[in-house]
């Protein structure tokens, strides 16, 4: 199995029955608005495949930053994503976009994440949500609020005060906000990412504080979202980074990104996940790369 990518992020397992699945996809994605748990609505991993309501599924996803696109254009952009043949949109949720000052959250207007998710569903798109707390260089300070430093948080992205108290408050707030829009609750969210490429920064194998930080994020996500959602981590697609940034076994689905050597990435991924619980997934593939100051040309991947 291989991955197809468009734009920044995609993730996927490839069934042989894609044609039949695509034909019936719209009624699966468009749901009633009931927030009660529906046994008939499920998204899970079985036999190394993603499975939606009992059917194997390919997730063909593109990444869109709602925080960068004016709200008036959200629907237009989502329509274009669907018209491209994609069935999923992924999006980061920048913490500092919604909590500019400590304890004061804003999820209205341009920052109305729930409306963006609703529009995705209206356009027959599933959603992969990436709420941090850290979301990498795609956003200033990785989405961490600048006031953290003012509050004395010099140790970031680890189980140290005051960072961990602020991070867990954000984590609980954002997860509780989106819970009604999980797929099992009638919404389009099928996967939620925990942290972002943590193996580049921390080391859960060797640093107890890093391990506790990631374990707290995972356990809190399960507490708030339940067990009907697929939680996952993403790290650079080599074994050493996956081991530094995630946990072997069944506590969370571990995937790689970049995938310049897909076979290497997928073997490393299978080594981390439970048997039968590791569909091949590449969480980020880039169509281009940053041009650094002083470089003469744009780099294409």
* Residue 247 contacts residue 214 (beta carbons within 8 Å): yes
Cβ(31)–Cβ(41) below 8 Å? yes
DSSP 290: P
In the block, tokens 């500092």 appear at 96
Catalytic residue among 99, 138, 195, 197: 197
As a whole number of angstroms, the distance between CA 24 and CA 26 comes to: 6
Distance of alpha carbon 266 from alpha carbon 242, whole angstroms: 11
Active-site choice (99, 223, 284, 295): 284
Catalytic status, residue 195: no
Please give the structure tokens belonging to residue 274.
């439970």
Comparing CA positions, the residue from 124, 88, 71 lying closest to residue 9 is 88
Distance of alpha carbon 194 from alpha carbon 156, whole angstroms: 15
Give the bridge partners for 230, in sequence order.
191
Q: Which stretches does DSSP call E strand in the chain?
A: 43-46, 49-52, 55-57, 61-63, 88-92, 126-130, 189-193, 230-236, 253-257
Q: Which residues are marked as active site?
A: 197, 284
């Amino acid at each position: 199995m291989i991955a197809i990518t468009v734009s920044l992020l995609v993730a996927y397992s490839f069934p042989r029955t894609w044609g039949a699945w695509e034909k019936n996809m719209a009624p699966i994605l468009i749901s009633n608005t009931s927030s009660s748990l529906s046994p008939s609505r499920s998204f899970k991993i079985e036999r190394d495949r993603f499975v939606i309501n009992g059917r194997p599924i390919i997730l063909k996803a593109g990444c869109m930053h709602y925080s960068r696109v004016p709200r008036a254009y959200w629907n237009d952009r989502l329509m274009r994503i669907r018209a491209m043949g994609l069935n999923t949109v992924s999006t980061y949720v920048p913490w500092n976009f919604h909590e500019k000052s400590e304890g004061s959250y804003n999820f209205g207007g341009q920052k109305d994440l729930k409306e963006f998710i609703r529009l995705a569903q209206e356009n027959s798109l599933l959603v992969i949500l990436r709420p941090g707390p850290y979301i990498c260089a795609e956003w200033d300070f990785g989405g961490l609020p600048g006031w953290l430093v003012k509050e004395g948080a010099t140790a970031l992205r680890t189980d140290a005060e005051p960072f961990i108290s602020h991070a867990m408050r954000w984590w609980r707030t954002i997860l509780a906000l989106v819970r009604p829009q999980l797929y099992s609750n009638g919404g389009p969210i099928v996967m939620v990412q925990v942290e972002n490429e943590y193996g580049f920064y921390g080391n859960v194998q060797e640093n107890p504080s890093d391990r506790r930080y990631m374990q707290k994020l995972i356990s809190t996500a399960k507490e708030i979202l339940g067990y009907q959602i697929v939680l996952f981590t993403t790290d650079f697609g080599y074994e050493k980074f996956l081991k530094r940034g995630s946990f072997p076994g069944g506590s969370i689905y571990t995937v790689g990104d970049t995938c310049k050597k897909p076979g290497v990435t997928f073997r490393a991924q299978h080594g981390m996940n439970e048997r039968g619980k590791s569909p091949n997934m590449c969480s980020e593939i880039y169509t281009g790369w940053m041009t650094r100051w002083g470089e003469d040309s744009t780099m294409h991947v």
